[in-house]
Amino acid sequence: MITITDVAKAAGVSTATVSRVLHNKAVKPHTKEAVMNAIKELNYKPNALAQQLRTQKTKTVIVVVPDISNTFFSEILFGIEDAAREHDYQILIADMHNQPNIEDYYFQAIQQRTIDGIISLSATIAKNLMEQIAEEYPIVVACQYLDNYMVPNVTIDNISAATAITEHLIQLGHTRIAHIAGDPNSLLYRDRFNGYIAALAKHNIPIDLSLVRYGVSSIQSGYDEMKYLLNQDPSISAVFAAGDIIAVGAINALKESGKRVPEDCAVVGFDDIEIASFWEPPLTTVRQPRRKLGQTAFRKLYKLMNQHPLKSVQDVLDYEIMIRESCGYNQNLNRKNNTTKEIDYEM
C-alpha cells in the first residue's frame, strides 16, 4: 500500500505538505506541482480509514430503510443521495426487511464512530429510546413520526391527505367506504385512519368500524383483507387502502370476485409508487414528494451534524392527489395542496 509518506519522499517534501496539497491549503505553486506529480505517478489514494480516525468524521450517513424492495423508498433514497452529494457525504443503506427490532443498527454504527448521522425511514423503535438517541447523536426521521415528536423529522400531513382522498370518494357519491389500514402501532397509519374518519364525519356519513381492516404492506395482504371485506359486506362501493401495495392487492381481489373496478367498487391508495399508474385500472392515490422528502431530510441532518441551528423540528411538505381511473373519476384534474409549513418547536 502506498502512503502519504511515500508521496512525501518522492516529492522531496514533508507529509504535512502533501496533506496541505490534498486539502487545498496554502502551498507554493512549485512545490504543489511536485506533490501532484508524485501523487499521480504513484497513483496514491489517501487512506479513508486513517483520515476518519484522525478527523473524527466519516462524512457518512446511514439510512435505515424498512424494506428496500418497496419502491416507495427508493425515490426517497435518491433524494437523500442528491443532497448528500452536494456536501460530499456517503450514504449507507441499512435494510430492516420490515422487522421492527432496529435499535442495533442505530447504536452499533454510530457509537462505533463508523457514521456521522442517521436518517430513519422507520419509527418502530420506542419513542423515548428514539428521543434519547436524538439527544446524543444527529438523527432525522422521514415519512414517519410519533406523537409530539421531538425528534427532527420531515413528512407530509397524512391526516389532511387521507381526508382529502376520502372526501374525493364521498364527492363521487360513495357512502359505504371501507378502509384497509396499516399497522396501528405506527402513527403514520393511525393518521391516515383518522383522516378517513374525519372525512366521513365531516360529511355526516355514519362511521362503521366493521368496514375497517388492518393489513400489512404486501399485495397478498391487500388481497386477503379485501376478500374478507367483500365476504362480510357486499354493499361496499369504495375502498381507501392505506398504501398502494395494499390497494393493488385489493383490486386483484375485487376483479377475481367478479367486481369491476371502479364501476362496482372504487379503490384509492396512498404513496403513488411506480406500479400504481401501470395497474389495471391505474390507481388513484396520494403522491408524496419523495425526492424532496429525501433532500429535506438530509439537509436537516446536515445542519444537525454541523451544529447549525434548526429552524424547526418538523417539516411538513406538500402532497398531491393523483386522480386516475380506479376511483371512477377519469379526469385529468389533480389536486394539490400548497401548505408547506414548518412547525416550530424551537430547539
Contact set with a copy of itself (CB under 8 A): 1, 45-50, 52-53, 58, 68-69, 71, 74-75, 77-78, 81, 92-93, 95, 97, 108, 111-114, 219, 223, 248-249, 252, 255, 274-275, 278, 280
Interface with DNA (CB under 7 A), residue total 29
Length of the chain measured in residues = 347
End-to-end CA, the chain:
46
State in angstroms the smallest separation of the CB of 222 from DNA.
Answer: 48
Residue of 234, 237, 231, 229 lying closest to 267 (CA atoms): 237
Contact 215, 221 (CB under 8 A): yes
Region of 25-33, 144-152, 251-259, 339-347 interacting with DNA (CB under 7 A): 25-33
Q: Residue 30 binds which entry of DNA, a copy of itself, none, with Cβ cut-offs from 5 to 8 Å by kind? A: DNA
CB-hemisphere CA count at 13 Å for 156? 28
Q: Which of 9, 10, 16, 184 binds DNA (CB under 7 A)?
A: 16
Q: Residue 160 in contact with residue 146, Cβ under 8 Å? A: no
| Amino acid (1-letter code) at residue 230 | L
Greatest Cα pair distance in the chain: 86
Sheet holding 320-322, edge to edge: 285-287, 320-322, 335-336
Nearest approach in angstroms of CB 71 to a copy of itself is 5
Half-sphere exposure of 111 (CA within 13 A, CB side): 7
Residue 111: which of a copy of itself, DNA, none does it interact with, CB under 5 to 8 A by kind?
a copy of itself
Q: Are 186 and 123 in contact (CB under 8 A)?
A: yes
The CB-of-23 to DNA minimum distance in angstroms stands at 6
Residues 28-87 that bind DNA (CB under 7 A): 28, 30-32, 44, 46-47, 50-51, 53-56
Cβ closer to a copy of itself: 71 or 160? 71
**Which residue, 195 or 243, has its beta carbon nearer to a copy of itself?**
243
- 320-322 vs 285-287, strand pairing mode: antiparallel
Helix 4-11 to helix 29-42 angle (10° resolution) is 120
Task: Indicate the residue among 19 and 314 with the shorter CB distance to DNA.
Answer: 19
- The C-alpha atoms of residue 192 and residue 158 are separated, in whole angstroms, by 6
Q: Whole-number minimum distance, CB 247 to a copy of itself, in Å?
A: 12
Q: How far is the CB of 14 from DNA (least distance, A)?
A: 3
Shortest Cβ distance from residue 281 to DNA (Å)? Answer: 57
- Residues near DNA (CB under 7 A) are 1, 3-5, 12-17, 19-20, 22-23, 26-28, 30-32, 44, 46-47, 50-51, 53-56
